[in-house]
Amino acid sequence: MIITKIHLENWKNFGEVTVACGKRVFLIGPNASGKSNFLDALRFLRDVAQDGLAKAVSGRGGLRTIRFLGARRPSDVTVAVTLDDRWDYSLSFTANNKSEPVVSREYVALEENGVRKSLLERPDAEDKQDTVRLTQTALEQVNTNKAFRAISDFFASIQYRHILPQLVRDPKSFSPSPSKNDPYGRDIVSQIWNTPVNIRDARLKKINGALAIAVPQFNNLSVELNQSTGVPHLKVNYKHWRANGAYQDESAFSDGTLRLLTLLWSLFDTDSSLLLEEPELSLHEEIIRRLPEIFAKLDKSRKKATRQIFITTHAEAMLSDPGIGGNEVLRCEPGAEGSVIDAADQEECGLMKDGLTAAEVLLPKTRPFNIEQLPLLPL
């Protein structure tokens, strides 16, 4: 599955937006324009599917933190998506008199043979008789989502990555309790170790080949379990004047090495949508320049269905890739009525078809107004 349309109402800094999505989506825009909040709407659906509505809302600081500050009535928050241009899922929620998040509308439909059929419409008669039911979505209940469990499974497998190298190197210093599927990388080495050996080794071999090109002296990437501590570690041999080189684990890897390694691993790691937050951080410009081509190449090499990638970026080098089409870039822009998201218009798409890149056509339009005045401020 891929997400082909996203609709948000009163979600964080978006009053109301609707955007079409393809296999790759590059989100650009100035700071605080809503790029991360846009991705978080998809993470929210994942959290609802995995842990339920109440936890997904409380984990974001409650409804007051989620709801658009400029919301007018009705002020319900809505996150709705279309999958493969066939499935529709829409969730609207608000708070009850106990300040608990409750479903105000939940809708599922499926189009088959040109006919769109409604599979769920809430609140239904049972919800009206027992309003406590509305504290849970049908998405999170296996006894009610049988007809559309494919949607629930898809949402639950959405993966978000914004790797912080210091967390990969020393996860216990930041949190003594173990983590699971941490988007910032605290358990990424454990995830690699726990992958079936044949799959893990095949992936690491491919990643080693890429890193051997990008990182001088890098060789023989593997993962090993420390028998005394029971903790797995990445291991790599760095070539030098001695015949056998020197071995190091992730605690000695550079930020760029860790970010590129975990980025490549994430590209292999799941079949659902992958949300990448500024993957260019800590990477050399020439590596950044080739990331879109790597994304496309890895997708073509997949034996399973196409994998969709959402990428937030400020990197001119990444957007200089001539393979990025105008229909792959969404531009977030703050406004008085909340942030808006614009796709490239016909003129912009025409310029890109004529040979200009997204970096030349679209990125300059994300430039903050009067930014040239910043160095002139008294400090």
Boundaries of every domain in the chain? 3-158+308-368
- Beta strand 159-161 with 218-226 is unpaired
Residues 237-248: tens digit of each pLDDT: 877 656 666 778
Residue 305, pLDDT > 70, answer no
Residues 346-373: tens digit of each pLDDT: 999 999 999 899 999 999 988 877 776 6
Residues 86-138: tens digit of each pLDDT: 999 999 999 988 889 999 999 999 998 889 999 999 999 999 999 899 999 99
Q: How far is the CA of 83 from the CAs of 4, 63, 329, 342, in angstroms?
A: 5, 26, 19, 20
- Please enumerate in sequence order all residues whose Cβ is within 8 A of that of 144, keeping only pairs 6 or more positions apart, or say none: 120, 138
Averaged pLDDT, 298-310:
73
Residue 314, pLDDT > 80, answer yes
Q: In Å, how far from its chain's centre is CA 97?
A: 33
Of residues 179 and 55, more confidence is placed in 55
Residue 73, pLDDT > 80, answer no
Whole-angstrom distance, CA of residue 149 vs CA of residue 110: 12
Of 99, 41, 102, 96, residue with least CA distance to 68: 41
Whole-angstrom distance, CA of residue 212 vs CA of residue 190: 23
Whole-angstrom distance, CA of residue 366 vs CA of residue 26: 13
Of 247, 233, 165, residue with least CA distance to 193: 233
Backbone angles phi, psi at 98, to 5 degrees: -100, 10
- Beta strand 274-277 with 159-161 is parallel
Residue 288, pLDDT > 90, answer yes
Q: What letter would DSSP give residue 368?
A: P
Residue pair 69/57 in contact by the 8 Å Cβ criterion: no
- Average pLDDT score over the chain: 88
Helix residue spans in 80-222 (DSSP H): 125-129, 149-156, 165-169, 171-174, 188-194, 197-214
**How high is the pLDDT of residue 15?**
92
49: three-class secondary structure by DSSP: helix
Averaged pLDDT, 259-287:
88
